[in-house]
Amino acid sequence: MRNLYLTNKYLTIIGVGVTLTMWGGIIALPLLGFTQLIMCIIIFNKKNKLNKKNKKLFYTYLLVTPTLAIVFKLVSVFSRIETLLLLFIWMIVSSILAFFHLYITYMIKKQNGV
């Protein structure tokens, strides 16, 4: 779990940086999300080593991320919001979630004193 933060840091910077080009984010954010999903699996498998605060942050992330994905899917199906506007909002929310995940990996790194 030591290298999760550094890997996440560089991938988040690249992913969110490419997102600023708007169309690059369509490719970058799903790849970043996929790598963060793999990191979540690694963290979940070692959750017993986390302190109470980091477990709470991690479980919050695990609850918020799929909830927001479901909300955006429902909004896209049942609302009249333009697809491009919804995509833009989702890219912003995804970037915020990426930074939240980065913060979680930072706190885990800090807990381990690495």
Mean pLDDT, the chain, as a whole number?
89
pLDDT at residue 22 above 80?
no
Percent of all residues in the chain with a pLDDT value above 90, rounded to a whole number:
60
* Residue from 88, 98, 92, 90 nearest 73 by CA: 90
Q: State if pTM tops 0.85.
A: yes
- Residue-wise pLDDT for 55-108, tens only, equals 999 999 999 999 999 998 888 888 887 878 888 888 899 999 999 999 999 999
* Residue from 85, 49, 86 nearest 69 by CA: 86
pLDDT at residue 37 above 90?
yes
Q: Write the burial class of residue 93 (CB in 10 Å: 0-12 exposed, 13-18 middle, 19+ buried).
A: middle
Name the band, by pLDDT with cuts 50, 70 and 90, for residue 1: low
Q: Give me the pLDDT at residue 108, please.
A: 93
Cβ neighbours of residue 82 closer than 8 Å, sequence gap 6 or more: none
Domain boundaries, the chain: 2-112
Contact present, 39 and 4 (Cβ < 8 Å): yes
